[in-house]
C-alpha cells in the first residue's frame, strides 16, 4: 500500500513544494520512495502552473535538495485522493477544513509543525516577502518536520523499512 501525502500552503511555490521535495529526498535516501507518494498544492490560485520560487530553490539546493514541480490549487477531491493533508500554517489549515463542511475528512488534515523534532514553531512561516535567511530557515524547519513525519509513518506501521 502506498501512503499518499499532500503538503499545502497558500500559493504552492515556497513552503509546500519544499516539503514535497524534501520528503521525496528523505524517502529516496531511506529506500522508501515507493512507499509514499507526495504532492503539494496551494489554497489560493495565484501561482497555478508556476515552478517553485527561485529563492526557495536556491535555499533547497544549499541542502542538496532538488526542487521540481508546478503549482496547483487544492481541490475538494484531494480529500479523497490523499491519506494525509499537511497544512503549513493555521490559516491554510482553516481554509482546508472549511472545504470539508461535513467534517468527513478532518481526521486527514494536520499541521506540518506537529512533526517537528527540534524546532518549536507551531507554523511554517511564509518566507515570500523576506530575504535569503527566511528561505533557509524554512528549509531547515521542513527538513526537521519531514524527518519527523517519516518517523511517524514508520512508527504507525504505515510504511515499512526495507533495510
What are 110's strand-pairing partners?
Answer: 86
Domains, in order of start, for the chain: 3-156 (3.40.50.2300)
Note the pLDDT of residue 163: 47
pLDDT by residue for the chain (163 residues), tens only, comes to 899 999 999 999 999 999 999 999 999 999 999 999 999 999 999 999 999 999 999 999 999 999 999 999 999 999 999 999 999 999 999 999 999 999 999 999 999 999 999 999 999 999 999 899 999 999 999 999 999 999 999 998 888 765 4
Note the pLDDT of residue 101: 93
Give catalytic residues, as residue numbers: 9, 15, 126
Cα–Cα nearest to 4, from 29, 41, 31: 41
Contact of 90 with 69, CB cutoff 8 Å: no
Amino acid at each position: 500500500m502506498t501512503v499518499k501525502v499532500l503538503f499545502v500552503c497558500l500559493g504552492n511555490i515556497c513552503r509546500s513544494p519544499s516539503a514535497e521535495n524534501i520528503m521525496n529526498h528523505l524517502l529516496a535516501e531511506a529506500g522508501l520512495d515507493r512507499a509514499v507518494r507526495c504532492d503539494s498544492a496551494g489554497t489560493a490560485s495565484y501561482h497555478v502552473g508556476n515552478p517553485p520560487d527561485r529563492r526557495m530553490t536556491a535555499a533547497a539546493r544549499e541542502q542538496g535538495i532538488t526542487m521540481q514541480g508546478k503549482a496547483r490549487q487544492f481541490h475538494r477531491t484531494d480529500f479523497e485522493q490523499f491519506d494525509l493533508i499537511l497544512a503549513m500554517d493555521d490559516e491554510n489549515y482553516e481554509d482546508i477544513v472549511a472545504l470539508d463542511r461535513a467534517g468527513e475528512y478532518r481526521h486527514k488534515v494536520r499541521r506540518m509543525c506537529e512533526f517537528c523534532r527540534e524546532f518549536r514553531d507551531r507554523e511554517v512561516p511564509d518566507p515570500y516577502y523576506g530575504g535569503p535567511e527566511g528561505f533557509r530557515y524554512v528549509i531547515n524547519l521542513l527538513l526537521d518536520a519531514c524527518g519527523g513525519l517519516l518517523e511517524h509513518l514508520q512508527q504507525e506501521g504505515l510504511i515499512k523499512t526495507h533495510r
